[in-house]
Amino acid sequence: MSGMWGKNIRISIFGESHGNAIGINIDGLPSGFNIDMDKVMLEMSRRAPGKSPLSTTRKEGDIPEILSGYFEGKTTGTPLCAIIRNSNTKSKDYSKLKDVMRPGHADYTGNIRYNGFNDYRGGGHFSGRITAPLVFAGAICKQILETKGIIIAAHINSIGNIKDKSFLDDEITLDLINSFKGKELPLINKELEEIMRNEIISARNNLDSIGGTIECAVFGIKPGIGNPFFDSVESTLLI
């Protein structure tokens, strides 16, 4: 498994769920960009678990420490590296995972791929915890895109069989997009929030889980950008 990808901006994630820290290296950012860390922390707070019965109970501060590529409040243009230290690591809770692997998780595939040498604690490198540095990178990229008039928005499309409206159903406005901010369950149809919440809690109380989907759209991209195999729906959302 490679933790590196990208072309114009190249990112590399590293670390394990119960290691000392997780982190990310971002190469290709423009120099001289003023990162609004308050906006970054807002995005980090949205991802942080332990604040709701709808997410994992693990509590982490998710405070990024920038090690390089950032000087006097601006990007230098060299690779920007940041780490997020782990603190809530109860590794003994996962001791059974060495031999008893969770269905639907990467425990088994990780064990096979790395011949049993993978760090299995909390899912190791395959843990949802690794999404924290990705959110950090995304928060920076969103700010850069906003300076070019490009806005990214997403909402919960479905939880189980409960389905929200689509971006294609109504006129998309900045007010609608801004209404998603700070919401635990961002929805176009706000009346579904309590129904979806109860569906998730019910599954959790039954020691089960329930699937869901999101719909993401990008606004403000000039026509002609993208690959030629975009279908009509994607083109509608991207223009």
List the pLDDT tens digit at each of the 239 positions of the chain: 567 888 889 999 999 888 889 999 999 999 999 999 999 998 998 887 656 666 665 566 689 999 999 999 999 999 999 999 988 666 566 667 677 777 777 888 888 888 888 887 877 888 888 889 999 999 999 999 999 999 999 999 999 999 999 998 888 888 899 899 878 899 999 999 999 999 999 998 998 889 999 999 988 888 877 666 655 444 444 43
Q: Single out the residue of 181, 180, 188, 184 nearest to residue 162, CA to CA.
A: 188
At the second CATH level, the architecture of 1-147 is: 4-Layer Sandwich (3.60)
pLDDT tens readout for residues 47-74: 876 566 666 655 666 899 999 999 999 9
pLDDT given for residue 235 in this prediction: 44
**The dihedral sign for the CA sequence 142, 214, 182, 44:** negative
Instruction: Report yes or no on whether pTM surpasses 0.75.
Output: yes
Q: Are 135 and 145 in contact (CB under 8 A)?
A: no
* CA-only gyration radius of the chain, Å: 20
User: How many helices (H) and strands (E) in the chain?
Assistant: 6, 10
E strand or H helix at 10? strand 10-15
Q: Parse the chain into domains and list their residue ranges.
A: 1-147, 149-238
pLDDT given for residue 121 in this prediction: 81
The SS3 of residue 207 is coil
pLDDT tens readout for residues 74-95: 999 999 999 999 886 665 666 6
